[in-house]
């Protein structure tokens, strides 16, 4: 199953991908790997975080870029999205109930 156009747009909004850091084919591949929408968002942020970790802070003339700020922001976003994914997973998971014999309440026989 692949993501719809609306889901891809939602994905881009959820990770603030206004510059289209991920091509549509990459998003579909991430979805195939992750298996769920929440997991694909987390995986994409992890990839962005890995990419930002490679860069150094620099300053040239009037321009200054601090990659550690982007890294910290992505880490915060990753934590938020992981918590959301875990919360959604708990909501949708099936709770298992142990079935077995009822415990006796003492040795008293049943009286009608």
Q: Where are the domains of the chain?
A: 5-89
pLDDT for 112 equals: 53
* CB contact at 8 A, 10 and 29: no
pTM above threshold 0.75: no
The predicted structure's pLDDT at residue 13: 92
pLDDT tens track for 45-93: 999 888 877 776 665 566 656 667 888 888 888 898 888 888 887 777 6
Q: What integer pLDDT is reported at residue 6 of this predicted model?
A: 93
């Amino acid at each position: 199953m692949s993501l719809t156009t609306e889901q891809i747009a939602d994905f881009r909004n959820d990770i603030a991908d206004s510059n289209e850091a991920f091509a549509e084919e990459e998003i579909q591949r991430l979805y195939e790997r992750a298996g769920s929408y929440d997991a694909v968002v987390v995986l994409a942020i992890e990839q962005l975080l890995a990419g930002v970790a490679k860069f150094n802070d620099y300053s040239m003339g009037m321009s200054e870029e601090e990659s550690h700020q982007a890294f910290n922001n992505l880490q915060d976003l990753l934590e938020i999205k992981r918590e959301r994914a875990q919360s959604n997973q708990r909501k949708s998971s099936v709770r298992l109930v142990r079935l077995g014999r009822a415990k006796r309440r003492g040795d008293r026989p049943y009286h009608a």
